[in-house]
Amino acid sequence: MEPTFQLTDVYASGPANAEPEPAPPAREEAPTPPASTESATATATRPAPPRVEQLPPWKVLLHNDDVNDMPFVVSTIVELTPLNKERAVQATLEAHASGLTLLLVTHKERAELYRDQFQSKQLTVTIEPQA
């Protein structure tokens, strides 16, 4: 007959010759500074950095290309931006006629995201700071 073991028997008792684990070392507290008679306003403080109410604007510019057809460009603009179909058609026609059009203005991080998304669709979009 084979012996049977209970998991609780093995883990509860541990190895037969095991030494007890040492207690973790006590954490030392940082010494508290002595009480001062000076007021708390005498300490030097850094001036707060200027608050930015709005991030600097960046232009997202769509370039004309001879590879993609207009319906594809329009549907991509509608898919990737908040522009509606009518505005996407206007932007596509302007890029076709003049070689470049302003799609939208946003902050730098989102402009970089738009540029990368359009590049993944093989469309040329550049970004530049708005003057």
What is the arithmetic mean of pLDDT over 70-88? 98
What six digits make up the tokens of 119? 């590049």
pLDDT at 53: 74
pLDDT at 38: 56
Q: What residue ranges do the domains of the chain occupy?
A: 68-129
What is the reported pTM? Answer: 0.60
Task: Work out whether strand 57-63 and strand 100-107 pair parallel, antiparallel, or are unpaired.
Answer: antiparallel
